[in-house]
Structure 1
Amino acid sequence: MQYDTLRVSDAAIYYELRGHGPLLVLVGAPMGTRFFAPVADLLAADHTVLTTDPRGIGASVLDIPESDSTAAARAGDLARLIAHVDAGPAAVFGSSGGAVTALALAQHHPGVAHTVIAHEPPVNAVLPDRAERDAAIEDIIATYEAGDPAGAWKKFMINANIHEGPPPGPEPDAQQLADEAFWFRHEMRGTTYFEPDIPVLRDGPTKVRVALGTDSAGQLLDRTSHALAERLGQAVLPFPGGHIAFVMDPPGFAQRLREVLAAA
């Protein structure tokens, strides 16, 4: 594995590169390289796999730490990384906020990726109750800013219609707490308020597909995924597991992603 940082106009973007073969980019937000490492190692058997920490998260440091992270800004970083490694055009798999980054890449940098797979994108704009969902985001952020992270997480899970929280883990370290703060304060709005340009995403040079975990039925991202896919005139691509299945079952997820890329 190679790792380095790429200097962009307002940040240093950390990335990792492994394997050989066609370029495949795995991107999250706020999830960074460490979440994708197990599945990236598997996919590196037949792909050149690029992963990155999104701006303001992990080892990707902003010149002005309080800057907001928008999907368009993250897509610009991704376009520069793909050009920098000089192995494109790429297939891009984005999950959660990374799915929104991938959609913004297809929208604002057409042709940089030949294929984008947007896995469970949290895009409020495609929902009929968008105003209510936007208000919920503002309430979550306000709760965090009032000094109640646990309350903010509880409201986040209710809004996402996820009734089971993650299993107890070790106490978060300083970097994890910093990433959490950045996500609530500077990334959540810039992700969930993204405005998809449906004609560009549907008819542009990048093939865009929407994916959904089979265990995510009934959750908010089930609704956003189906709504976006319907607007694009397609059915959702089923993937195994739930929202972070690439963390929970890297072999099964890698197998499914290979199948989807082969069909694309």
Structure 2
Amino acid sequence: MSVESRYLDVPGAKLHYEVRGRGPVLLIIPGGPADGSMFGPLAEELAAEYSVVTYDPRGLSESTRDNPDEDVTVAEQADDARRLLYEFGPEPAYVYGNSGGAITGLELVTLFPGRVKALLAHEPPLTELLPDREEQRVFGEALLAVYREAGAVAAFQRFISDTGIVPSADGQDESGQVPPELEALLARMVPNLDLFFGHMFRAIVGYVPDLDALRGTSTRVVVARAATTDGEIAARTAEALADSLDQPLGILPGDHGGGGVSPAEFAAALHVLLTWK
């Protein structure tokens, strides 16, 4: 499958994005310090049905921003996604957001509902919806303290171990081996970690969705969790959002990463949820 690599100037930044396939537009929004390349295999699978757009959010990987000292807001991220969608015409598009990217998707639907036909929000980390939100706030502040005192990699190791999204604190499984998917994940994310912890983290963990706007939007909003994350923080937040919107919770194969390990199986399930009526 051919891949077109492009750039888009947006206020205060330049976005790098890639396009695969033909058909209705499907924008994939990565979360946290992740970039568009992490969803390349998934995009390849989806390209038979969609024009799949993957991108690096502002300041991450190949995307740049004019002022590296500014914080990145969720509204700013949503506006970037809106401007990117307009590159493909005025018709509403499909959107898949993973983790923090799902929060961007929710804000996109809230601010610009006419741009999105259907949003699949996969495990958005909406800790403010949880009954133990105060405990989560304490954890977030402790994580930022680790970042300030020991650096971004140490904070990321603490983050992935305490949230349960990877096997253990040191990234090893029970056999003592680092899973290949985790090794690749860490390698891609490390250059982006200072921006994530220094200028993105607070906006993501403090985000409170406009539930009334989401209930009343013309966009079909589908909330999903991963099949293997029962009891983990991101699964709990997905469940809380689905409950708040009074809708069933979708289940997608794999883990919190959202399609990186079994992209063919994940793509098939994603297509069903996006197009189910």
Q: Structure 1 length normalisation: TM-score? A: 0.93
Runs of 4+ in 1 over 3 A off after TM superposition: 148-151, 168-173
8 A Cα contact 1:24 1:90, kept in partner? yes
Deviation at 1:148, TM superposition (A): 4.2
- DSSP-derived class of the 1:45 partner: coil
**1:51-200 correspondence runs (5 A):** 51-86=54-89, 88-162=91-165, 164-165=167-168, 166=171, 167=178, 169=183, 176-200=189-213
Q: Is residue 165–residue 256 contact of structure 2 (8 Å, CA) maintained in 1?
A: no
**RMSD over equivalenced CA pairs, Å:** 1.9
CA displacement 1:204-250 (0-9 Å, x = unmatched):
11111111001010100111011111000012101011111410011
Structure 1 residue runs of 5 or longer lacking an equivalent are: none
- Equivalent of 2:264, from 251, 257, 261? 251
Answering whether residue 227 of structure 2 is matched by residue 219 of structure 1, we say no
- Tell me, yes or no, if the aligned pair for 1:240 and 1:253 is still in contact at 8 Å: yes
> 1:141-189: CA deviations, max 9, x gaps?
121111244542343135414461442637976x743301111111111
Which residue identity is paired with 1:122?
P
Selected match of 2:253 from 207, 232, 240: 240
Instruction: Note the residue ranges of structure 2 that are not aligned, 5 or more in a row.
Output: 172-177
Superposed CA offset, 1:49-108 (max 9, x none): 111101111111010012212221111000000011226311100001111110110111
| CA distance in 1 between partners of 2:190 and 2:251 (Å) | 33
Match status 1:36 vs 2:36: no
CA distance, structure 2, for counterparts of residue 237 and residue 170 of structure 1 = 27
**What TM-score do you get using the length of structure 2 for normalisation?**
0.89
Please give the secondary structure, in 2, of the residue aligned with 1:201. helix
Percentage of matched positions with identical amino acids? 34
Distance 1:87 1:47, change over 3 A: farther
